[in-house]
A and B are shown apart, each in its own frame.
Chain A
Amino acid sequence: MHAPLLEVQGLTHRYGTRAACNNISFSLYSGEVLAVVGESGSGKTTLLRCLSGQLRPDAGCVMFETRNAGAVDVWGMSEATRRMLARTDWGFVHQNPRDGLRLDVSAGANIGERLMAIGARHYGNIRGEARAWMSKVELDVQRMDESPAAFSGGMQQRVQIARNLVSRPRLVFMDEPTAGLDVSVQARLLDLLRGLACDLGLSAIIVTHDLAVARLLAHRTLVMHDGCVVEEGLTDQVLDDPQQAYTQLLVSSALPA
């Protein structure tokens, strides 16, 4: 059995005296999609930021299995190494695409940027890859040279996903990737993500308050409440036979997932 891609132990982060993440431990294996569900304020985004090198936790460790150097402590390395890892091995899809895109350059350039960051120099190749990803995320390649500022929210989210996946990251973090979109746009985006996750064998951690998103995309699910993981397991198990009082409340309050 392979070592986990990500191993989290005792992760804690406080804002003042309140623990937004309280002693969280779990592992993620290669090819696994993990959903983190819970109501707003339960600590999901804080957890994601601590895992992805954006927010230093107060305690605990996050071990990431690198391509060549085995498991490394994400918060034990230099800032420069961490930034390098974020560019080469991770992707981060923000809830608001405007936080993850550069609106002053074209959609194509947004997608190509990460390839350049990992050393691609041949303009034609970069453009070709960007074009291929435009169509993979079902965007009109004709609009590759337009700024995403003029795109709809759903289209911007597609650009953001393409921008993150083009460099084949080994782990993708997504924070509510479908929130704030119209229901029909959401459905298309979910379908796209489901297809990409299958085809690419993606390893991903998806934060969502929408249990249907977890059902559709995630192999396993963690349930967070008040900064703690209260339950975890196979997604269908957690949703169909929830054990904890909080999970039962969450599942019974949701529309059928």
Chain B
Amino acid sequence: MKNKKLIEINRLCKHFVLHQQDGLRLPVLHGVSLSAEAGECVAVTGGSGAGKSTLLKCLYANYRTQAGSARVRHLDVWIDMASAHAREVLAVRRYTIGYVSQFLRVIPRVAALDIVMAPMLAVGMEAQVSRRRAQVLLERLHIASRLWTLPPATFSGGEQQRINIARGFAASPPVMLLDEPTAALDDANRGAVIELIREARRRGAAVLGIFHDEAVRDAVATRHFELHPVAAHA
């Protein structure tokens, strides 16, 4: 388990072209290289707009890239998310990557508990086992049980974020991408998330996270990786 590399980003470049702004070219990532091993938690740092969220989204293949590679070890095969086919990307997302975005994108009419169970069912875990684990996660994240059967559309920002976190950790994926998972949370819940991240590391996950809260970062990160804004001419 130790020293097993799970993430390898190599000279990754990403820019946006804004066609509605006369084709304005917005460089964000320029030759970014970073890798992470099992058990590590790398905190991505840098100012607002430095490209932290963009980096995570490129690794999840939510954003496209222009050059370089963003590889993830998927069932012991390296897959470059920047060039993989759609079906491959979906398989990597299902089995290998847990991504906690900053905001929950709610699905109408689907209950919180079902949202958390979905990634476990998707990898073939038994319904009973999935339900039990979902309940445990929701309890640990202090979601009142009367909310479990409700769709999160009407939940508070912090409650939605905790549903999002529970879903991301549910299937215990080997690679975790966390975009400010504790931003909307109180102390007790921050503590619960810190514990979840530490557990993930202990079971051998590689975690790539953005943590604005320094205390959280110090509690979970094994090292920092700083992103610098790219000069406009890059």
Contacts and interface: CB of A to CB of B under 8 A. Distances in A.
Interface of A: 29, 32, 187-188, 190-191, 194, 216, 219-220, 233-234, 236-237, 240-241, 243-245, 248-249, 252
Contacts of B16: 241
Interface of B: 16-20, 57, 61-64, 86-87, 89-90, 107-110
Contacts of B17: 243
B63 A188 contact: no
Contact of A234 (B86, B108, B109, B110): B86
Contact of A187 (B18, B57, B64, B108): B108
B62 A248 contact: no
A245 B19 contact: yes
Majority SS at the chain A contact face: helix
B24 to A, nearest CB: 11
Contacts of A241: 16, 57, 62-64
Contacts of B110: 191
A187 B63 contact: no
Given A240-B63, A241-B62, A245-B19, A233 B107 contact: no
A186 to B, nearest CB: 10
A244 B19 contact: yes
B19 A249 contact: yes
Given A190-B108, A194-B107, A244-B19, A234 B63 contact: no
Contacts of A245: 19-20
A217 B61 CA distance: 18
Contacts of B61: 234, 237
A233 B90 CA distance: 12
Given A187-B108, A248-B18, 4 more contacts: A216-B108, A237-B62, A241-B64, A243-B17
Contacts of B18: 248
A252 B20 contact: yes
5 contacts: A241-B16, A241-B63, A243-B64, A249-B19, A249-B20
B100 to A, nearest CB: 15
Given A240-B62, A241-B64, A249-B20, A220 B86 contact: yes
A190 B106 CA distance: 14
Contacts of B86: 219-220, 233-234
A69 to B, nearest CB: 25
A177 to B, nearest CB: 16
A233 B17 CA distance: 17
A234 B90 contact: yes
A247 to B, nearest CB: 9
A241 B26 CA distance: 13
B108 A32 contact: no
Contacts of A188: 109
A32 B62 contact: no
B54 to A, nearest CB: 9
Contacts of B19: 244-245, 248-249
Contacts of B109: 187-188, 191
Closest CB pairs A-B (n = 10): A245-B19, A241-B63, A191-B109, A187-B108, A248-B19, A234-B86, A220-B86, A236-B62, A241-B64, A240-B62
